[in-house]
Structure formats: structure tokens, C-alpha cells
Structure 1
Amino acid sequence: MVAKSDTAIILMNLGSPDSTAVPDVKKYLLEFLMDKRVIDYPWLMRKLLVGGIIVPRRAEKSAEAYKSIWWDEGSPLIVLTRQLQKAVWHDLEIPVEITMRYGTPSPQATYDKLLKEHPGLKEVILVPLYPHYAMSSYETAVEYAKDIHRKKRYPFELKIVKPYYDRPEYINALAESMRPYIEQEFDYLLFSYHGVPVRHIRKGDVTGSHCLKINDCCHVASKAHTRCYRHQVIITSELVAEKLGIPKQKWGVSFQSRLGREEWIKPYTADKFEQLPKEGVKKLLVACPAFVSDCLETLEEIGVEGKHSFISNGGDSFTMIPCLNTHPLWVKTIGALVKEEIGEAVS
């Protein structure tokens, strides 16, 4: 338990449309894809591409996809994030709110709510629900939250939890959440992460001379790794596989959710679903550690489309392992990260 009445926590996730109606989905896609850290083209080019081509073509199809996974309570991502909020609040016994990078509630609405309910608030611990650093996920969420905090001159200090892709608490929570599925018979475990353009990996290289420029760059020590998404997801996968005792030949990493025709980091998850049955993999497990809450990209893209592709290409059994969601060890991990920011010993 943390006993600090002048401290609060914000859990920050990606976001979701307010409903499955096409106008709401279109509004959400415009906000998401117009983010300069998601599609990092000049504003006018981005406007023409997103507003003139991508969103008009994708909105109706995306709305149908959201309808296929929508819960009675609302968007799975929002519902699960609120459930996590309650669990963390119960664990730490200090105020916990949620905010989203896109959609609602916005950081400003969350800041205002906290300040109204806790006028003496001195510090807010922002926990980005992104274990790995990527320009289009962790960075854009953090910079957005910081920018609003600065512009509105909120009186409380904003502290940010750093990426935790290799933290023992996170690795243990992820591994233990997966263990019940690993204990069943399977041929292969695929770690499927959200993809990013190759350009983003090179652009994020703080050294300018490491990422994708030297052999086995993800395993050669470098300052570039502090912001290298590819390195961080590989390390997460290796640590989890080691903790679960899975031999190297029985697991691999791939990348999903590619947008556009430019090169993204490989291998592509969609290609793996077609190839693995031809390589003798009949019983497949899929985990998606880039997402801590189940959402469209896990429930529909992997759980529906991915399963269909794998089975139709000769696979027999396909199991999508749920995200961390509200797993007790994940709740404890968030508590440990928060306590470290506050400066208290972890109990």
C-alpha cells in the first residue's frame, strides 16, 4: 500500500472509437492517423493521404471489425483499462484514473478531474500502457500528455514511467499469464508485435549509426537500444521464452498491423500464418506482448483473421493467448513501477 494523499496515478492507453458507428470510427481514425508520430509525413501530404484516401477507404470496414469484437459494456480496450484502474486503485489505495492518446477520456479531461477531486494534488505518476519504446506508441502518448500538462500549467508535477520491456516484474507477469497455455501441447509460439516502418527504426536511432546498419544490431550493446522498438521486443521475447523454458526452435517473433506499401520491420505476422503450416506447424500459440489490453488488433486481427488464415493454410489448432489485461501479477507490476517513481520501497 502507498499512503500518499497528494499523489495520483494515470494509466494511459491507446484509445478507441466512442462507438462502432462509422462517423465515430472515422473521427477516431482521423485523430490517430493524423498524428505526426504515426505517419511522419509533412502535414499537407499526411492530410491528403489520411483524409483523402486512407480513412474514406477504411472507415466502414474498420467499423464492421469493431462491431465484431465490441462488448455489451463498450470497447474491450476501454472496459479492460477501467477494470485495470480499479484493480490498481485497490492494490495501492491511492487515486487512479485513465486517459487515452486518441479518443476519450483525453489527458486534459483526466487532469481536470483529478485536480477537481484532489485540490492538494502534488504529483501524478503517468503509466504508459506500452512496455516498449516506439515513436508511434510510447513516445507520442508521453509527449502528448506532457504537452498538455505544460500548456495548461497544471500545479502538480508529472512523472513518467519509463519503458519496462525488460523489467523482471513485467517479464514474470507476462510469462505467468502465458504459462497455462504453454503447458498444453503446441508446436510453436509466435510473439506477434505491432509493426512499425523500417524508417521509424532508423529515425529513432540516437547514435545514427547502429540500428539496421550493423550485423545483429539488436544484440550489440548500444545507446540506440533505449529507443529501439525492434531491440526491445526481441529482448522481451527472449526473456519470456527463457523463463518459460521454451527452446529456440519452438518460438519466433513477427510484426502485425502493417499500413501502406512501404517496408515495415519483418517478418510480417500475416506471412507467418501462411508459412508455418507448410513448415509442419499444426498447433500454434500466438501472444501479443506489445498490447497489455485486448483490443481490435488482438481480438479481431489475430483472433479472427489470423486464425482463419492459419487454419485455411493447413493448420489444425490456433490459440490466441489473452493480453495481460487485469492479471494479478500485472497489477503488482504497475504498483512496483509507481512505487519506484514515488521513491518508496517496493513491498
Structure 2
Amino acid sequence: MKAKKGVLLINLGTPDSPKVSDVRKYLDEFLMDGRVIDIGTIQRNLLVRGAIVPFRSPKTAKLYNEIWDKEKGSPLLYISELQADLLRKELGSDYQVELAMRYQKPSIEEALQRLKLALVDSIQIIPLFPQYASASTGSVIEKVMKLMATWHAFPRISIINQFYDNELMIEAFADNAQEKEPEKYDHVLFSFHGLPVRQLKNVDNSGKHGCAAPSCCAQITTSNKFCYAAQCYETARLIAAKIQVNKEKYTVCFQSRLGKDPWVQPYTSDVLVDLAKKGVKRLLVLCPAFVADCLETLYEVTEEYGQEFKKLGGEHVELVPSLNDHPKWIEALKQMVLANEMESLKATY
């Protein structure tokens, strides 16, 4: 019998339920990751378990309650499961597609074990983060390597570590935006998840970039090719071109910052203030760092930023849905798998 090829899709993670205890467990695992909060272990332990988790868990649990589906559960999980199911159908019986979360369930360890028991002859690891960051994609890769370190026999392993400029993905985001009729809005926001500036500097192996250059994110170069911010700007530029929105009509910004250290700017909240002062009333918001709608899109943008913008004098904030089950996104995943398989075979032979 012909051996199957394995595909492992990995997204960030979600609590098992919106209960405070489950949210606390999730936040503890997430924030104790040394790639997420990249400070010394003792300092991180004191900060996370002594300050952040105890105070943040009840507040975050309330937010999860707002988006939790009584039947399906966490949007991030059930949408990710749907994506995996659709990809499974597209790839056919030659492939075994598994889904895992970096934090909580379904676990990476269990997914890898299923692929191992299936005797697959290759495993493609696909962290579901379009733009590379050490705190997301890097953390997934490190976790996979640690779990597989004890294996005695290895199938062929390959990793798709970024796809910020994937043409079909860009088209899927653009399709979703077009359905909202961008021309009816005063301005378009591309709001990406934030990162500490130090983490952007750390991915520059050349020592020449490090977000210190005057126009460090203007275009992708050899030295900044792993820069999260530069990739975000490129993703936004490509989508904006597809929906025919010029530079004066859109802004790239970053949300969800934590702590007092400087994070990549401009902050979404600051941009809202600036746009309101300029008389902007209607905003269309895309979040191209997320391939599935989740707490950051469904609540942070729709509710928090929506209310904040109205208090500043704005009228409406409209969220463009994430990729979710868009056919072009599923096709993008399929094409990435097939192309990566071919490249991997070429490298082998």
C-alpha cells in the first residue's frame, strides 16, 4: 500500500471553554512561552503568573463569552477544523491532514503521534501565520522539533514558514473586502497583531536592518526578509492594489500590545484618534495576520475599536471577515502543499 503524505496545520490556540479556569490555563501556557515573552525565565514567571494571568484571566474570559458559540465553541477552533476538513477533501486520499494548536487542544504532540502511527513518508508543517514572527511561527517550529527529537525514524520533514505574499491568499482577502464595497468607506485600516520592537530586531541575522533604517519596512530585502513588520506592509500593499485603494486611503497599524516596552507602531488605537481628528467617519478594517476569525478580530476590532471610534466622533467600523472557508484560501493551502512537496522531492534527489 502506498504510504501517505502528512500535512500538519498549526494555529495559535484557544481555551477549552470561556470559563476563567480554562482561560487562565490557556494564558499561562501561552505567555510562559519564552518566544512570546522573551525575558529571563524567573522574570517571566513572576510577571506572567504573579501579575498578568491572575488579573487578565477574568477579563479575557468575559471577552471569550461574547464570541463563544454555544454549539460549536471557540470560533478559532471550529473554523480551523473546517479549513482542515476542506483541505483534506481537496488533497484526497494520498494525504493525511491533521490540525493542532500551539497552545492547548488539539495538541501538536497528539497530531504528530497520529501521523507517526499512520507511517507517513513525509510531514509538511504549516504554521497558519502568513507573516513570520519568532513568537508565532518560530514558536511552532521549536515545539515541533522538541517533540520529534525523541523519534528514532524520521519521515521527510518540510516547513512552510511564511506566505505573506501568496497570490491566492491575497485574492481571498481582497474578495472579502470587495463584498463590503470599500468605496463606501472614508478609510481602510490594515490592523495586524503587534509585537515588541526587540523581537523584530532579533530576526535580523545580518545585523544591518533591525528596524533601525529610515525606511526599513518600505520593501522586502535580503536583510529584512524575516521582519514581521516589513511582511505586514507588503501584505497590505498587495491587498490594497487588488481592491484599488491608493496609499492615501489606507493605513497599516498594529493592535494587541502588552506591557510597557515599545511595540511596533503605529498602534491601532492611536490611528483611530488621528483619523477621527481628520474627520474620518466610516472605517473598513482588515486583519490579514489572521487566517481565521478569532477574539482579536471578532471582539477587539468589532467591539472595542468600534466603540472607541464612535466615542472619538466616528460613525462606524466594519470588519472584513478573515479567510475562514473562502475557496481561494483552501486552494492556496492546497497549492502550497503540492508545490512544497515538489520542492522537497527535488532537494532529496
Q: Residue 247 of structure 2 aligns with which residue?
A: 248
One-letter amino acid of the counterpart of residue 70, structure 1: W
Q: Residue 213 of structure 1 aligns with which residue?
A: 212
**Superposed, which structure 2 residues align to 1:179-328 within 5 Å?**
179-183=178-182, 185-219=184-218, 222-328=221-327
**Superposed, which structure 2 residues align to 1:1-80 within 5 Å?**
5-72=3-70, 73-80=72-79
What CA distance in whole angstroms lies between the structure 2 residues aligned with 1:192 and 1:33? 22
State the shift of 1:221 in Å. Answer: 5.7
- Tell me whether 327-336 or 4-13 shows the greater mean CA deviation: 4-13
* 2:161 is the alignment partner of 1:126: no
Identity %: 38
State the shift of 1:262 in Å. Answer: 1.0
State the shift of 1:308 in Å. Answer: 0.6
One-letter amino acid of the counterpart of residue 161, structure 1: I
What CA distance in whole angstroms lies between the structure 1 residues aligned with 2:151 and 2:307? 48
* 2:331 is the alignment partner of 1:332: yes
State the shift of 1:5 in Å. Answer: 4.6
One-letter amino acid of the counterpart of residue 29, structure 1: L
Contact 2:286 / 2:321 at 8 angstroms: preserved in 1?
yes
What CA distance in whole angstroms lies between the structure 1 residues aligned with 2:3 and 2:283? 47
What CA distance in whole angstroms lies between the structure 2 residues aligned with 1:202 and 1:270? 23
Q: Which runs of 5+ in 2 are unaligned?
A: 344-349
State the shift of 1:211 in Å. Answer: 2.6
What CA distance in whole angstroms lies between the structure 2 residues aligned with 1:278 and 1:207? 40
In structure 1, the residue corresponding to 2:204 is in which secondary structure?
coil
Q: Residue 346 of structure 2 aligns with which residue?
A: none
State the superposition RMSD in angstroms: 1.8
State the shift of 1:127 in Å. Answer: 1.3
Q: Residue 147 of structure 2 aligns with which residue?
A: 148
Contact 2:220 / 2:231 at 8 angstroms: preserved in 1?
no
Contact 1:26 / 1:59 at 8 angstroms: preserved in 2?
yes
One-letter amino acid of the counterpart of residue 88, structure 1: L
Q: Residue 107 of structure 1 aligns with which residue?
A: 108
Q: Which runs of 5+ in 1 are unaligned?
A: none
What CA distance in whole angstroms lies between the structure 2 residues aligned with 1:157 and 1:231? 31
State the shift of 1:220 in Å. Answer: 5.7
What CA distance in whole angstroms lies between the structure 1 residues aligned with 2:131 and 2:145? 18
* 2:93 is the alignment partner of 1:95: no
Contact 1:149 / 1:158 at 8 angstroms: preserved in 2?
no
In structure 1, the residue corresponding to 2:141 is in which secondary structure?
helix
One-letter amino acid of the counterpart of residue 163, structure 2: Y
Contact 1:133 / 1:226 at 8 angstroms: preserved in 2?
no
State the shift of 1:150 in Å. Answer: 2.4
What CA distance in whole angstroms lies between the structure 2 residues aligned with 1:299 and 1:220? 30
What CA distance in whole angstroms lies between the structure 2 residues aligned with 1:214 and 1:173? 32
What CA distance in whole angstroms lies between the structure 1 residues aligned with 2:199 and 2:256? 15
Contact 1:310 / 1:318 at 8 angstroms: preserved in 2?
yes
- Tell me whether 192-201 or 218-227 shows the greater mean CA deviation: 218-227
Contact 1:173 / 1:333 at 8 angstroms: preserved in 2?
no
**Residue 154 to residue 140, structure 1, CA distance change in 2 (3 Å):** farther
One-letter amino acid of the counterpart of residue 88, structure 2: W
In structure 1, the residue corresponding to 2:124 is in which secondary structure?
strand
In structure 2, the residue corresponding to 1:227 is in which secondary structure?
coil
In structure 1, the residue corresponding to 2:120 is in which secondary structure?
coil
TM-score scaled to structure 1, two decimals?
Answer: 0.94
TM-score scaled to structure 2, two decimals?
Answer: 0.93
State the shift of 1:153 in Å. Answer: 4.0
Q: How many residues are matched?
A: 341
What CA distance in whole angstroms lies between the structure 2 residues aligned with 1:146 and 1:254? 33
What CA distance in whole angstroms lies between the structure 1 residues aligned with 2:235 and 2:183? 22
What CA distance in whole angstroms lies between the structure 2 residues aligned with 1:5 and 1:174? 35
State the shift of 1:227 in Å. Answer: 1.3
What CA distance in whole angstroms lies between the structure 1 residues aligned with 2:176 and 2:148? 35
**Residue 34 to residue 214, structure 1, CA distance change in 2 (3 Å):** same
What CA distance in whole angstroms lies between the structure 1 residues aligned with 2:43 and 2:182? 49
- Structure 1: 4+ residue segments shifted above 6 A: none
Contact 2:219 / 2:234 at 8 angstroms: preserved in 1?
no
